[in-house]
């Protein structure tokens, strides 16, 4: 990595220390921004860095931006290429977390969205595991997941993540690794910042997009991997108590990656270890993200082309 970090700001690559916004910026005052979390994985044997699901992430960013009337002056392909340039400028040779942001950029004291200028920026930092991947202890949060008719749950809105922060902080203060959130109907939605899957009687089950979840990019990858492994999948509502009697549970998302949960509200799940279905999907996923599985190479974008 270079001695000085580089960011994408105002349409060009600049030193990260210069990529600053005014405290009067609308997004800073009102949370009127959207973002993505994208990972890139270094593989020393291939001498390359692989960005995972770059195009789907940026397509979701543009959808999120439209919901908040934020203008992004780039196509998906242009954003992917700027991300590759950013990786090269930082000379990353490690696992990386990439944060693109689109936001209301005018210095304005105004509660609204229309008539306020937009901006786009992106930075990246080295990152390993966000949470342990081998056995999480999770709790059902007393904080309910925001409903889509309050703040769009299918968009990654910056201000909305106070909801996730409150539930995650509560769980960690109580000695857990992560929180699971219920919707207003009392049924399972997702974890604080990741989607949830459980296994019951050999069937992989997850909540529908109508359960106020983020339509996860990694969630879709799990569907694809499960299909290849011939694991049956159901998308349906999940009751809280079903989690207590599940055979396996795991969380998935860019940040958490694919992490097995072994305890819910201090109740052991299965034999207290990540189960066989979790392990099988996890093994394929970690091969995929490092570009080690030829059949899944289309999920990743090489940064250096093996010339790092």
End-to-end distance of the chain based on CA atoms, in angstroms? 12
**How many of the other CB atoms lie within 10 Å of CB of 282?**
21
Q: Alpha carbon of 257 to those of 27, 85, 103, 162, 290: distances in Å?
A: 28, 24, 26, 21, 13
Q: Is 156 a catalytic residue?
A: yes
Nearest Cα residue to 214 out of 150, 131, 156, 130: 156
φ, ψ of residue 23 in degrees (nearest 5): -65, -15
* Residue from 104, 156, 227, 307 carrying the catalytic annotation: 156
Taking phi over 0 as left and psi of -120 to 50 as alpha, with beta for the rest, 186 belongs to left
Where helices occur in the chain by DSSP H, the ranges are 26-30, 54-67, 76-90, 161-173, 217-228, 240-244, 276-289
Task: Tell me how far apart the alpha carbons of residues 170 and 174 are, in angstroms, rounded to a whole number.
Answer: 6
Catalytic residue ranges: 156
């Amino acid at each position: 990595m270079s001695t000085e970090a580089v960011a994408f700001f105002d349409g060009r690559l600049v030193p990260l220390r210069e990529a600053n916004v005014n405290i009067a910026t609308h997004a800073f005052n009102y949370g009127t921004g959207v973002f993505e979390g994208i990972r890139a994985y270094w593989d020393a044997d291939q001498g390359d860095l692989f960005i995972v699901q770059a195009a789907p992430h940026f397509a979701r960013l543009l959808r999120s931006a439209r919901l908040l009337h934020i203008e992004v002056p780039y196509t998906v392909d242009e954003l992917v290429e700027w991300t590759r340039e950013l990786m090269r400028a930082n000379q990353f040779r490690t696992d990386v977390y990439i944060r693109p942001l689109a936001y209301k950029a005018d210095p304005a004291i105004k509660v609204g969205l229309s008539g306020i200028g937009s901006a786009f920026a992106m930075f990246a930092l080295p990152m390993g595991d966000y949470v342990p991947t081998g056995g999480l202890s999770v709790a059902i949060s007393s904080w309910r997941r925001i409903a889509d008719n309050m703040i769009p749950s299918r968009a990654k809105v910056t201000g909305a993540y106070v909801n996730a922060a409150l539930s995650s902080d509560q769980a960690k203060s109580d000695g857990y690794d992560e929180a699971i959130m219920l919707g207003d109907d009392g049924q399972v939605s997702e974890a604080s910042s990741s989607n949830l899957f459980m296994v019951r009687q050999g069937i992989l089950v997850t909540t529908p997009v109508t359960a106020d979840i983020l339509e996860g990019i990694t969630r879709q990858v799990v569907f694809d991997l499960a299909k290849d492994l011939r694991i049956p999948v159901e998308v349906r509502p999940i009751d809280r108590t079903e989690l207590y009697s599940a055979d396996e549970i795991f969380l998935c998302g860019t940040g958490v990656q694919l992490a097995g949960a072994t305890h819910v509200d201090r109740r052991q799940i299965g034999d207290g270890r990540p189960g066989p279905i979790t392990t099988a999907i996890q093994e394929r996923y970690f091969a995929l993200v490092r570009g080690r599985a030829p059949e899944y190479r289309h999920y990743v974008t090489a940064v250096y082309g093996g010339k790092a």
